[in-house]
């Protein structure tokens, strides 16, 4: 069976497609050859000649610096925009100034909060009242006692007219501070009523109007009971009842 003939032009085109220029001696265009062995030998010779050149090109590529071209201004700006500029270590003086400013701000914030909540602090920590009062004396403020009217109750009371003195009455009452902390002395509101429980007279009594003469405490002590005896005059009235409660104005 006859062998397959392959043209030399096809061999040259194959070399060009492989990226190899055949030497003149390897041109196969002059005459066809009858066997593939000749074509393979020509390819082997061409590859053998090309290997040194390919190796040299690869070595030259490896020798190029990997950071070549990365130091241009455009590249640096792109890197800064993408990853941010490296952090600079602050100067010790700047760091100390920042620390001092931060500490001062914390102190001012603490002082402001202490001023705003001085009543609550003194209520929860009674031992600090003296310190807070001394500080407020320099700052032009005071530390008032709490004013929780819900924790102050009138446990008992009794209204009597004074014998032989028309229009004069005597109110007896028991005032109880049920809170666990001292409070301001409250005001008392006394309302006299008629037979239909309608008010006919109302008066507000400040602590100075009803505190016992020997009572010198600056505040109503915690868990303390005070007995009241309040004489007053209501000429021209004939009350048949009354109402009394404690409050803070």
Q: Domain boundary residue among 58, 87, 116?
A: 87
- 157 strand-pairing partners: 173
d(CA 54, CA 20): 10
Query: 176-199: string of b/e by CB count within 10 Å (b at 16+)?
Result: bbebebbbbbbbbebbbbeeeeee
pTM of the model: 0.57
Q: Domain boundary residue among 73, 107, 139?
A: 139
Domain count, the chain: 3
pLDDT digits (tens, 9 = 90+) for 12-27: 555 455 455 555 544 4
Instruction: Give residue 220's pLDDT.
Output: 95
> Is 12 a domain residue?
yes
Sheet strands side by side (includes 168-177): 152-161, 168-177, 224-233
Q: Give the β-pairing of 187-193 and 168-177.
A: unpaired
Instruction: Give residue 223's pLDDT.
Output: 94
Q: Domain boundary residue among 109, 139, 169?
A: 139
Based on the fold, state whether residues 228 and 158 are members of the same structural domain: yes
Based on the fold, state whether residues 83 and 97 are members of the same structural domain: no
> Is 144 a domain residue?
no
d(CA 131, CA 125): 11
> Is 240 a domain residue?
yes
Domain hosting 125: range is 92-139
d(CA 120, CA 138): 20
> Is 80 a domain residue?
yes
d(CA 199, CA 194): 7
Q: Please list the ranges in the chain whose pLDDT falls under 50.
A: 1-10, 15, 18, 25-35, 68-70
Instruction: Give residue 1's pLDDT.
Output: 42
Q: How many CB atoms lie within 10 A of CB 241?
A: 15
């Amino acid at each position: 069976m006859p062998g397959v003939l392959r043209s030399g032009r096809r061999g040259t085109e194959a070399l060009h497609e492989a990226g190899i220029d055949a030497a003149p001696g390897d041109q196969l265009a002059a005459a066809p050859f009858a066997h593939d062995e000749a074509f393979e030998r020509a390819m082997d010779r061409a590859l053998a000649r090309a290997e040194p050149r390919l190796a040299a090109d690869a070595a030259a590529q490896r020798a190029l610096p990997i950071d070549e071209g990365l130091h241009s201004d455009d590249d640096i700006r792109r890197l800064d925009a993408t990853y941010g500029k490296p952090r600079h270590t602050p100067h010790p003086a700047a760091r100390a100034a920042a620390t001092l400013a931060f500490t001062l701000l914390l102190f001012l914030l603490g002082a402001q909060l202490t001023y705003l909540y001085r009543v609550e602090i003194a209520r929860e920590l009674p031992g600090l009242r003296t310190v807070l009062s001394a500080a407020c004396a320099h700052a032009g403020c005071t530390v008032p006692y709490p004013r929780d009217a819900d924790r102050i109750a009138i446990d008992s009371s009794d209204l009597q007219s004074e014998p032989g003195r028309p229009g004069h009455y005597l109110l007896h009452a028991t005032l109880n501070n049920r809170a666990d902390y001292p409070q301001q002395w409250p005001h008392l509101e006394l309302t006299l009523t008629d037979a239909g429980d309608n008010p006919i007279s109302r008066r507000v009594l400040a602590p100075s109007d009803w505190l016992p003469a020997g009572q010198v405490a600056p505040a109503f002590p915690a868990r303390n009971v005070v007995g009241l005896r309040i004489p007053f005059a209501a000429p021209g009235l004939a009350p048949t009842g009354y109402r009394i409660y404690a409050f803070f104005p």
